[in-house]
Amino acid sequence: MDFWTHLATNFPPETAAQIRRSLSDERTRGLLLNTNKIDIREFYSRFPLLSHHPLVSNGFLYDQKTYDFGKLFWHDLGAYYLQEPSAMSVVSFLDIKAGDSLLDLCAAPGGKTMQASLLLGEGGIILANDISHSRALILSSNVERLGLGNVVVTNNDFQTIYQSYLAAFDKIILDAPCSGSGMFRKDEKMLKDWSYNKVMACQKKQIELLHIAYLMLKPGGTIAYSTCSFSKEENEDVITCLLSNSDAYLASITGKQGLYSSRHLDGPVYFLPSLFTGEGHFLALIKKPGQLRASQQRNNPYRGKYLALVRQYGLEKRHNLEIDDSLYSLSLPFDVKGLNVLRYGVRCFDEISKHPQPNHHLARFLGATQSLVLDDVSFREYLAGEMLNIEKSPGYHLVSYQGLNAGFVRAVDGKLKNLYPKGLRRR
| CATH number of 145's domain | 3.40.50.150
400 and 259 share one domain = no
Q: For residues 78 and 105, what is the distance between their CA atoms, to the nearest angstrom?
A: 23
Host domain of residue 213: 3-287
Q: Does residue 65 sit within a domain?
A: yes
Q: Does residue 393 sit within a domain?
A: yes
pLDDT of residue 294: 74
On the CB side of 21, how many CA atoms lie within 13 Å of its CA? 8
* Residue 226: closest CA among 79, 115, 152: 115
- Alpha carbon of residue 126 to chain centroid: 10
280 and 420 share one domain = no
CB-based contacts of 201: which residues, under 8 Å, 6+ apart? none
pLDDT of residue 149: 98
Contacts from 267-273 at CB under 8 Å and sequence distance 24+? Answer: 268/235, 268/236, 268/239, 270/230, 271/86, 271/89, 271/182, 272/15, 272/18, 272/19, 272/22, 273/19, 273/22, 273/23, 273/25, 273/27, 273/182, 273/185
* Contact (Cβ atoms closer than 8 angstroms) between residue 138 and residue 110: yes
Q: Does residue 345 sit within a domain?
A: no
Q: For residues 172 and 192, what is the distance between their CA atoms, to the nearest angstrom?
A: 32
End-to-end CA distance of the chain: 50
pLDDT tens per residue, the chain (427 residues)? Answer: 899 999 999 999 999 999 999 999 999 999 999 999 999 999 999 999 999 999 999 999 999 999 999 999 999 999 999 999 999 999 999 999 988 999 999 999 999 999 999 999 988 999 999 999 999 999 999 999 999 999 999 999 999 999 999 999 999 999 999 999 999 988 878 888 899 999 999 999 999 999 999 999 999 999 999 999 999 999 999 999 999 999 999 999 977 789 999 999 999 999 999 999 999 999 999 999 999 987 767 777 888 889 999 999 999 999 999 999 999 999 999 999 999 999 999 999 999 999 999 999 999 999 999 899 999 999 999 999 999 999 899 999 999 999 999 999 999 988 999 999 999 998 7
Catalytic residue among 106, 178, 202, 228: 228
Q: Does residue 19 sit within a domain?
A: yes
Decide which of 287, 317, 337 is a domain's last residue: 287
267 and 158 share one domain = yes
Q: For residues 417 and 415, what is the distance between their CA atoms, to the nearest angstrom?
A: 6
3-state secondary structure the chain: CCHHHHHCCCCCHHHHHHHHHHCCCCCCEEEEECCCCCCHHHHHHHCCCCEECCCCCCEEEECCCCCCHHHCHHHHCCCEEECCHHHHHHHHHCCCCCCCEEEECCCCCCHHHHHHHHHHHHHCEEEEECCCHHHHHHHHHHHHHHCCCCEEEECCCCCCCHHHHCCCEEEEEEECCCCCHHHCCCCCHHHHHCCHHHHHHHHHHHHHHHHHHHHHEEEEEEEEEEECCCCHHHCHHHHHHHHHCCCCEEECCCCCCCCEECCCCCCCEEECCCCCCCCCEEEEEEECCCCCCCCCCCCCCCCCCCHHHHHHCCCCCCEEEEECCEEEEECCCCCCCCCCEEEECEEEEECCCCCCEECHHHHHHCCCCCCEECCHHHHHHHHCCCCECCCCCCEEEEEEECCEEEEEEEEECCEEEECCCHHHCCC
Q: For residues 123 and 117, what is the distance between their CA atoms, to the nearest angstrom?
A: 10
Whether 228 is catalytic is: yes
What is the domain count for the chain?
2
Q: Does residue 141 sit within a domain?
A: yes
16 and 159 share one domain = yes
* Contact (Cβ atoms closer than 8 angstroms) between residue 331 and residue 149: yes
Q: Does residue 189 sit within a domain?
A: yes
* Residue 229: closest CA among 268, 178, 279: 178
Decide which of 265, 287, 309 is a domain's last residue: 287
Judged on CB neighbours under 10 Å (0-12, 13-18, 19+), 85 is buried
281 and 382 share one domain = no
* Residue 359: closest CA among 413, 315, 316, 317: 315
Decide which of 241, 269, 287 is a domain's last residue: 287
pLDDT of residue 189: 83
Neighbours of 63 (CB within 10 A): 13
257 and 382 share one domain = no
Q: For residues 184 and 229, what is the distance between their CA atoms, to the nearest angstrom?
A: 10
Q: Does residue 260 sit within a domain?
A: yes
282 and 378 share one domain = no
Looking up residue 389, the CATH number of its domain turns out to be 2.30.130.60
Phi, psi values for residue 119, rounded to 5°: -70, -35
pLDDT of residue 296: 67
pLDDT of residue 158: 98
Q: Does residue 124 sit within a domain?
A: yes
273 and 374 share one domain = no
pLDDT of residue 293: 84
